[in-house]
Amino acid sequence: MAFIDIEDLEVTFEGSGRQVRALKGVSLAVEEEESFGIVGESGSGKSTVLRALCGLAPVTGGRISIAGDPVQMPRDQAFYRRVQMVFQDPYASLHPRHTVDRVLSEPLAIHGFDHAEDRVEQALEDVGLGSGFRFRYPHQLSGGQRQRVAIARALILEPKVILLDEPTSALDASIQAEVLNLLDRLRAERGLTYVLVSHDLAVVSHMCDRLMVMQGGEVVEELTREALQAHATAKDYTRNLLTASEGFTRDPALRR
């Protein structure tokens, strides 16, 4: 069995007499220390897979297991020791009135870690911020620095799995490169497993060994990085995504 094993996962949101089936039977398997990507357009359910994995979405069917253990509902502490998430918008995912120190110390206190002081300093060092940032508030940081704090917060519990939901889409291109390099380095150093969700095929292709394309709550296909680079795709949907990612092409008839 794979390290992260999801079978026939279904998520249904209910509200005001309407049901929305966000995931209609999604299965995926991620091996340990692998980096797995999920691509799709808005509304394809790609983020919902991550949210369901860490217990933030109403799962109505299917199974999820990590390292052979089926996950509990609600998730127990041991789960969060093992799985952590980094969210898309660093402007919204950090408490505006908590200092960086407090953001990083809280998970340590909850999970009863010792040497909290040293761990906070180390975590900041690891993401390339340094202890000078320890007593700053989020509004005193740039977008890239905030995302580094969010990554430090996820890493401080020494998890095995990091779920990354569009970790760089709110950042400028040059900052995106820095954050992607940081994530790459951390994975190599610590043997982490990544599940990365993005709408940007180039980011996924850069970061992930294997990827899955989603549309309307279903899996369109699974590809390896090599297959993606060679445009070896069986589905039109994926091909359209690939063409669109290459930029604008003028209709030859309209070219001036």
Instruction: Report the interface residues with another protein, using CB under 8 A.
Output: 41-42, 143, 172-174, 176-178, 180-181, 184-185, 199-203, 205-207, 228-229, 240-242, 244-251, 254, 256
- CB 181, min distance to another protein, A: 4
Q: Which residues contact 122 (CB under 8 A, 6 or more apart)?
A: none
Q: Which is nearer to another protein, 1 or 173 (CB)?
A: 173
- CB 107, min distance to another protein, A: 28
- CB 64, min distance to another protein, A: 27
Q: Which is nearer to another protein, 78 or 202 (CB)?
A: 202
- CB 52, min distance to another protein, A: 22
- CB 199, min distance to another protein, A: 6
Token look-up 């991620």 returns 30
Parallel, antiparallel or unpaired: strands 218-224 and 59-66 = unpaired
Q: Which is nearer to another protein, 67 or 175 (CB)?
A: 175
Q: Which is nearer to another protein, 97 or 256 (CB)?
A: 256
What type of residue sits at position 79? F
Buried b / exposed e along 98-123 (16+ C-beta atoms within 10 A): ebbbebbbebbeeeeeeebeebbbeb
Q: Which is nearer to another protein, 118 or 251 (CB)?
A: 251
Q: How far apart are CA 217 and CA 48, in angstroms?
A: 9
Q: How far apart are CA 8 and CA 245, in angstroms?
A: 29
Parallel, antiparallel or unpaired: strands 35-40 and 210-215 = parallel
